[in-house]
């Protein structure tokens, strides 16, 4: 009898447990409020804009100063290219520059000399013109006297010859002025050529110095080194990539939403992100991009059933001030879920209230 009583009691307890469990399951799946009611969500991964650090000119990598995973800041030198060849080119360009400086100085001196020669030629023209005036007056006087018989015809002829000689001298001196003008034009052209050569030499120096400066490869953004694409000692071509960085000031999550949900989204809509690695935190974000063409979702993002539907790619941008605060802790590639309110005027549920470290 006691055995039967215990058996009945055990059966009763099992029945009660089954009833309680059934009630709980009914409540859990059918009667309890859905915590995600009024929300649409999609799986995604934290991503960031990738930036390649590349060499401007061909050459050998002298050193790489960072390792994969290192955080770098804007302007930080991350690698150096060998500059031995560039330094030789710089010395050659500097020698040509000094040579061009000497050529300019010589050309200026020659121009001054040619201008002085012109002034001397002009003075000679004035002198010859004065001599011509005297010779002309003397001839006029002697010719008049010879006509009246007051002097010999020979004297008049001599004065005429002197007048003609003075005319020729004036013409010769004017020709010297013209030659001086031509020499000045030539000297000015030579000076312009020398100055152009000087500018060209300076431009070569500037270009080579710029190449030397560019041989120090610098980070253009705050970010983290993702890959070392090349190694010290390797020779790469112009534009050859050395490092790959992720821009930690441009971080976002890409996820996919069905047509109806994506069609209601507006740029700037609030998003909440929960990462698998930190489910206790809720990160704020805003919609920064909605694709204008539907596509099948990638296999790594959604279930097979959902992949059969056309979805729209959505990007949720993490705020800049939040990134600045936690920039050293930002990790790309982390999976998570992005949530969006179906009603933009609705309230976020308690479990999606912003919670950051």
pLDDT above 60 (res 254) = yes
Same structural domain, 176 and 56: no
Q: The pTM is what? A: 0.63
Q: What is the CATH number of the domain that holds 310?
A: 2.40.30.170
Kindly state whether residue 22 falls inside one of the protein's structural domains.
no
Same structural domain, 112 and 186: yes
- Please give the backbone phi and psi of residue 61, each rounded to the nearest 5 degrees, phi first: -75, 120
Kindly state whether residue 345 falls inside one of the protein's structural domains.
yes
Single residue among 214, 247, 263 that ends a domain in this structure = 214
Same structural domain, 247 and 197: no
For residue 108, the enclosing domain spans 85-214
Q: How far apart are CA 331 and CA 275, in angstroms?
A: 11
Kindly state whether residue 4 falls inside one of the protein's structural domains.
no
CA distances from 348 to 269, 340, 341 (A): 13, 9, 7
Q: How far apart are CA 175 and CA 132, in angstroms?
A: 16
Single residue among 168, 183, 214 that ends a domain in this structure = 214
Kindly state whether residue 281 falls inside one of the protein's structural domains.
yes
pLDDT above 50 (res 192) = yes
How many Å separate Cα 141 from the centre of its chain? 87
Same structural domain, 201 and 235: no
The pLDDT of 85-109, averaged and rounded, is 95
| Contact present, 262 and 292 (Cβ < 8 Å) | no
Q: What is the CATH number of the domain that holds 99?
A: 1.10.287
Single residue among 167, 189, 214 that ends a domain in this structure = 214
Q: If phi over 0 gives left and psi between -120 and 50 gives alpha, with beta otherwise, what is residue 241? A: beta
Same structural domain, 241 and 343: yes
For 155-223, give the DSSP string.
HHHHHHHHHHHHHHHHHHHHHHHHHHHHHHHHHHHHHHHHHHHHHHHHHHHHHHHHHHHHTEEE-SSSE
Kindly state whether residue 76 falls inside one of the protein's structural domains.
no
| Contact present, 244 and 229 (Cβ < 8 Å) | yes
* Selected residue with higher pLDDT from 103 and 301: 103
pLDDT above 50 (res 1) = no
pLDDT above 80 (res 123) = yes
Kindly state whether residue 262 falls inside one of the protein's structural domains.
yes
pLDDT of residue 189: 94
pLDDT above 80 (res 133) = yes
- Please report the sign of the dihedral spanned by the C-alpha atoms of residue 301, residue 306, residue 310, residue 313: negative
Number of domains in the chain: 2
């Amino acid at each position: 009898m006691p055995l039967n009583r215990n058996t009945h009691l055990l059966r009763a307890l099992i029945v009660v447990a089954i009833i309680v469990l059934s009630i709980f399951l009914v409540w859990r799946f059918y009667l309890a409020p859905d915590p995600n009611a009024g929300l649409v969500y999609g799986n995604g991964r934290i991503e960031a804009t990738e930036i390649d650090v590349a060499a401007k000119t061909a050459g050998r990598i002298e050193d790489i100063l960072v390792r994969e995973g290192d955080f770098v800041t804007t302007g930080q030198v991350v690698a150096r290219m060998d500059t031995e060849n560039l330094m030789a080119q710089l010395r050659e360009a500097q020698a040509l520059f000094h040579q061009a400086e000497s050529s300019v100085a010589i050309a200026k001196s020659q121009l001054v000399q040619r201008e002085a020669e012109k002034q001397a030629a002009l003075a000679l023209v004035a002198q010859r013109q004065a001599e011509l005036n005297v010779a002309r007056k003397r001839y006029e006087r002697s010719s008049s006297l010879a006509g009246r018989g007051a002097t010999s015809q020979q004297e008049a002829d001599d004065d005429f010859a002197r007048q003609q000689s003075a005319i020729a001298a004036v013409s010769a001196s004017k020709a010297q002025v013209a030659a001086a003008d031509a020499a000045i034009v030539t000297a000015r052209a030579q000076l312009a050529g020398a100055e152009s050569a000087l500018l060209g030499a300076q431009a070569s120096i500037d270009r080579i110095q710029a190449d030397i400066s560019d041989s120090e490869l610098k980070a253009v953004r705050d970010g983290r080194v993702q890959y070392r694409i090349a190694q010290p000692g390797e020779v790469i071509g112009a534009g050859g990539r050395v490092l790959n960085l992720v821009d930690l000031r441009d971080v976002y999550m890409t996820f996919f939403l069905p047509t109806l949900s994506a069609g209601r989204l507006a740029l700037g809509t609030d998003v909440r992100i929960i990462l698998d690695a930190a489910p206790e935190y809720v990160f704020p974000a805003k919609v920064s991009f909605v694709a204008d063409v539907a596509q099948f979702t990638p296999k790594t993002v959604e279930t097979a059933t959902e992949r059969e539907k056309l979805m729209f790619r959505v990007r949720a941008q993490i705020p800049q001030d939040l990134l600045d605060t936690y920039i050293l802790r930002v990790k790309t590639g982390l999976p998570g879920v992005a949530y969006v309110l179906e009603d933009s005027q609705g309230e976020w549920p308690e479990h999606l209230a912003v919670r950051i470290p």
